[in-house]
Amino acid sequence: MAQAQKKNALLITEDDAFLFAQGTHYEIYEKMGAHKMVKDGKEGVYFAVWAPHAQYVNVIGSFNDWDIYKDNMEKLGDGGIFALFVEGAKVGDMYKYVITTQTGEKLYKADPYANQAQLRPNNASIVADLSGFSWTDQTWMTQRENTDWNKKPMAIYECHIGSWMKHPVDYEKETGFYNYRQFADRFVEYCQKMKYTHVELMGISEHPFDGSWGYQVTGYYAPTSRYGTPEDFMYLVNTLHKNKIGVILDWVPAHFPKDDFGLSNFDGQPLYEHPDPRRGEHPDWGTKVFNYEKNEVKNFLIANALYWMKKFHVDGLRVDAVASMLYLDYGRKDGQWLPNQYGNNKNLEAIEFFRHLNSVVKNYYPGALMIAEESTAWPLVTGDPKEGGLGFSFKWNMGWMHDFCYYMKLDPLFRKDNHNAMTFAMSYNESENYILPISHDEVVHLKCSMLNKMPGYYVDKFANLRVGYTYMFTHCGKKLLFMGQDFGQDCEWSEARELEWHYLADKEHSSMQYYTQKLLEIYNKYPCLYENDNNWKSFEWINANDADNSVYSYIRKSESGRNNMLIVLNMTPMKREGYTVGVPKKKKYKLLLNSDEECFGGNGVPVKKEINAVKKEKDGRDYSISFDLPPYAALIFLF
């Protein structure tokens, strides 16, 4: 038996152990975890786990009747990796590790590198085989490698699979979840109809509590079993790619929950978390914080990012809670945090982690997206690591989101005193590559849905939302809209119920959906709206200061000089008769979109389809056009 165990070390070599200890084994998931194999002509499963503080580690499961004494794993060298080949174990078997701590306590742990897990509330790991799926998305994957997303339209639909739509017949079996395959077939049709370019999926990594929305992860290498198997998830990604829809996953390298079966105190001591609670715990969230000082922990996370891209072909990761990682005092009071070696609040190890992570992803997967949810003014989040940046592809513009929601909630009487809220974002637009997010966070916890943030009567709310979304889709920055907000969902979002699809039987909601669809169609069609988002080449204010009328006017310019746009937004219920706007050229200005048209749920105030500029000075320009500007209206002219 001893001789057989020594042969187990052949799968994890000394080089593997060395690279893992250095934090640079980017395919460590091929060695750690559970992998079917044939050894000496016998079929079985090779198990490997990192537990350097353990006295002993045993693997238990359905293959050995959960006998905690039967399969004792061998410790390989000084790095703390334990491994064992178990003859007769097979794909589909459930298992856990029994870790005997230095004090003799026995801990029953799920596998940190498991590729599949039981459906909650059960939490055993499951032996999986990721090699059997036949991918047919090579065209998409090849094109992605050479894509500069700064020059392309990105309209992201943020989606939580479990509450997007409930299955009409499966309520007794589960909570009505569609599986990944069923969801794929229905979802593709919706995305294509609406013209979204990407979907951002929430809660794909395995997590025990539905109410965490997937932001408290226990299975970083396992697609959640709520919606099926890893192969089912591959089917979803493959189907989306074949229909030219990119896939972004929410990814949580900031913290993890304290569940006994998870990463917390994994081998009886802090292993994945920082040992000092002033750095190793989030007081407000009740979670553990990863220890970015430890190479093996950084390797676990960086390899995990690459794993989703290699094994599941995902196109990018939206990295959650970046600010909480960058600042040592984030969410902490005096005495609850520990300064760095220079006495300030910057998390130097997390900064290095991000630079390492983003550099490796860019090197391995050109065209893949790394998106930071970062809520502060930290500089160069999307800057080159060689120049002091963090290396992300894009950053959520949380400042824009805050100002936008603040302004749009105001009674129109008070909007003139807050006019700069809608212009401020352009003053710092060049500092990063931005995504403008209206995410799930804006429509939960008594924040109201986007529709019910709007002031006025019910019909006014829709008009406000139409003009607000026009501002969003014609402003610099890529776009993200949370599910349900495109048709004006009434209720706040809850993970426990499906979207209010029944409202689409009402004219107001169906018209709102149609208007959002037209905005997405226009956004995708005209390069002036996306090819120079991060500079002033494509944006120019006509009048940013008409606070008295609460009207904004600006132009978006294409590199070719063709199909430029003039956008005029009226943020009040007052019709502005004979409103005059300065224009850059003596040309014919063709009305492309009028949010007040009856087909969109508007009043139908007529606006000329074509207006010739006249030589009349306005807004510092020699030429201008005049028209009746409907109440709560957005007008887009092509020139």
Q: Which active-site residues does the annotation give? A: 320, 373
Question: What secondary structure does DSSP assign to 534-595, as a single string?
Answer: TSGGGEEEEEEEETTTTEEEEEE--TTS-S-EEEEEE-SSS-EEEEEEEESSSSEEEEEEET
Outline where 365-453 has alpha helix (H): 398-409, 412-415, 450-453
Spatial separation of the C-alpha atoms in residues 569 and 471, rounded to whole Å? 7
**For residues 176 and 320, what is the distance between their CA atoms, to the nearest angstrom?**
27
CA atoms of 245 and 308, how far apart (whole Å): 17
Torsion of CA 229, 231, 237, 240, to 10 degrees: -100
Q: Which residues pair with 155 in a beta bridge?
A: 479
Name the helix (H) or strand (E) containing 513.
helix 507-525
Structure tokens at 484: 């349900």
Distances (CA, A) of 348 to 9, 352, 422: 35, 6, 35
Backbone phi and psi for residue 322, each to the nearest 5 degrees, phi listed first:
-60, -40
Structure tokens at 196: 């979204």
Residue 461 to residues 149, 469, 547, 549: CA-CA distances in angstroms? 33, 12, 21, 19
CA dist., res. 601 & res. 405, Å (int): 22
Largest CA distance in the chain: 95
| 3-class secondary structure, 229 | coil
Residue 131's contacts (CB-CB under 8 Å, 6 or more residues apart) are: none
Considering Cα of 615, then 617, then 623, then 627, what sign does the dihedral take? negative
CB count in 10 Å sphere of residue 325: 24
Structure tokens at 302: 């960086």
Burial class (CB in 10 A: 0-12, 13-18, 19+), 561: exposed
31 with 12: CB under 8 angstroms? yes
Distance from C-alpha of 38 to C-alpha of 270, rounded to nearest angstrom:
35
Please name which of 249, 260, 256, 253 lies closest in space to residue 216, comparing C-alpha atoms. 256
**Residues 595/515, Cβ–Cβ less than 8 Å:** yes
